[in-house]
A = this chain, B = another copy of it.
Amino acid sequence: MPVPPIGRRQFITAAGGTLFCTLSGHRMSANSHVSMAGMERLGAEVPVPPLVRAADSDDQPHATFVSATAHAAQGTGQIREYWIRAERTHWNIVPTHRDGMMNARVPGRSTFTALAYRAYSPNFAAPLGPATIPGPLLEAQTGDTIVVNFRNETGAPVTMHPHGIFYTSDMDGAYKGAYTTPGGFVQNKRTFQYVWEAHPGTEGSWFYHDHGPLDPVPVFKGLFGPLIIRPAGAPVPDTEFFLTLHSFIPLATGLDNSFSCINGRAYADNTPTLRAQVGQSVAFHVFALDDDFHAFHLHGHRWVDPGGDLVIDTKVLGPGDTMTAEFIEDNPGRWFYHCHVFSHLHMGMNGWYIVSP
């Protein structure tokens, strides 16, 4: 069944499809494909909100950042400054073309043009590494202020919206229709400086993602990343992993199949192969960010569910939900971690966790 491009697409209800989202007045199902060109066209159809237009006409538009030290008074701790671009990246969901769990070939195409948040050195001088999905880890301790100098190079308006951390309403990175402020509508080639504060009571494992006018398309193309706020002075685990359970669906990829992914990849040997050693303190920070519910399971291990005292080895996660599993490693060998939803497991949401003695 070919995926109709935007423009030729009929209202999805006419074809008996299921409404997935409405973008700029166009209604589409999970199988509609929004290409990069389509995203640009859709983005161009969204009127620039009045408060964004007003800010745009300033002498000093968003290209100029407030010096990070200007924020020093806001928190009791450090300024954590990041330079992050949202950009396009050629992405292979199954680079090995193998399913290591089933020891089988994964047929079909698995490459598309994705979007990623990518960390840069100050003033966007140079990338700090290749584009990754999820994006760079943002870290703070209680009392710190996170400053993200954000530049949009995707071709369409996108944003950064964080979870968990404190932010004022002009810093939430959410498109709000007529009420949108500049942080909720960062146009292509423009910049915005987000300031988020790790107030006491915000400690936890969180994340950030696009929440702009084309939401949810940019999220489904890869615009999300982890954020952690640690209690000041608390010990950091010897080994910790940041995992995102999500999917790459035809809406975002134009590929024939959906892939159930962990950190942008599907199937063991493509998803992260995690490593630890007996005796280490280990933390799995997991968040879910697609249209599905997931059940994170780790073989050979169990942990106390944070916030209570129940021992579990499987944890339900909904979209926007996070969990942390912490334990002292005591069990060497080659283990699976995976989503326990069987179809997700078998559409790629699994990986290796290898513990050395």
Contact = CB atoms under 8 A, between A and B. Distances in A.
Interface of A: 1, 11, 13, 16, 18-22, 24-25, 27, 30, 47, 49, 99-108, 161, 163-164, 166-170, 172, 174-179, 201-204, 206, 213, 215-216, 219-220, 256-258, 268, 290-291, 293-295, 297, 299-300, 302, 305-322, 331-336, 340-343, 345-347
A24 B107 CA distance: 12
Given A22-B104, A311-B204, A172 B335 contact: yes
A334 B169 contact: yes
Contacts of A16: 1
Given A202-B302, A257-B19, A100 B314 contact: no
Q: Which of A11, A178, A203, A295 has the most CB of B within 10 A?
A: A295
B99 A313 contact: no
Nearest to A12: B257
Nearest to A213: B102
Given A19-B257, A25-B105, A318-B294, A300 B169 contact: yes
29 contacts: A1-B16, A20-B342, A20-B346, A21-B346, A25-B105, A30-B343, A99-B177, A101-B177, A102-B175, A103-B177, A163-B297, A163-B314, A164-B311, A164-B313, A167-B300, A169-B335, A177-B268, A202-B311, A215-B346, A216-B343, A216-B345, A291-B341, A293-B316, A305-B307, A307-B310, A314-B319, A314-B320, A314-B321, A320-B340
A25 B314 CA distance: 28
Given A19-B343, A174-B336, A302-B201, A313 B169 contact: no
B343 A20 contact: yes
Contact of A21 (B22, B172, B342): B342
A319 B333 contact: no
A103 B320 contact: no
Nearest to A336: B174
A342 B22 CA distance: 11
A341 B319 contact: yes
Q: How many monomers of this protein are in the complex?
A: 3
B20 A333 contact: no
Contact of A291 (B24, B307, B342): B342
A340 to B, nearest CB: 3
A300 B184 CA distance: 14
Contacts of A293: 293, 316, 318
Contact of A307 (B47, B309, B345): B309
A336 B161 CA distance: 12
Given A204-B311, A309-B307, A313-B163, A21 B343 contact: yes
Contacts of A172: 299-300, 335
A300 B170 CA distance: 10
A23 B41 CA distance: 40
